[in-house]
Amino acid sequence: MAKFEFRGKKFEDISKLNMEEFSNLLKSRQRRSLKRGMTEKQKKLLEKIRKNPKKFHRTHERDMLILPEMVGVKIGVYNGREYVILEMKADMLGHRLGEFSPTRKQVKHSAPGFGATRSSKFVPLK
């Protein structure tokens, strides 16, 4: 199994970088987001993770970037109905939490339901 690399660097090297050096490895949109700074809620979540990385954390912050210090932590990300449990992995670096917690389910249609009209119940023989 191959070791994980992010932009040509191993995870051990990335985890030693400070925030500015790490942001230079990201794409421009994520780099700009980090440069503008985190919101108060994002800072608070990051402080909780730093304080107790073994604990399960729940959040509504879907737009927060996944940072190297978050790898290995379990986070529940709210999708509008429930918390989707995510375990942060190294290959999630630079993505946002909301990307892994879809807000919509795929629609799966079956037979017509109770009270359907006569025309919608029609099923051809061949």
Domain boundary assignment for the chain: 5-101
- State the pLDDT at residue 114: 65
Q: pTM for this structure? A: 0.81
Ordered alpha helix ranges (H), 6-113: 11-15, 19-23, 28-36, 40-51
- State the pLDDT at residue 107: 86
- State the pLDDT at residue 4: 81
Spans of the chain below 50 pLDDT: none
Distance of alpha carbon 90 from alpha carbon 111, whole angstroms = 43
CATH number for the 5-101 domain, one of 3.30.860.10, 3.20.20.150, 1.10.1760.20, 3.40.50.10440?
3.30.860.10
For 43, residues 6+ apart whose C-beta sits below 8 A from its C-beta are none
- State the pLDDT at residue 124: 72
Q: Do 67 and 43 touch, CB atoms closer than 8 A?
A: no
- State the pLDDT at residue 3: 80
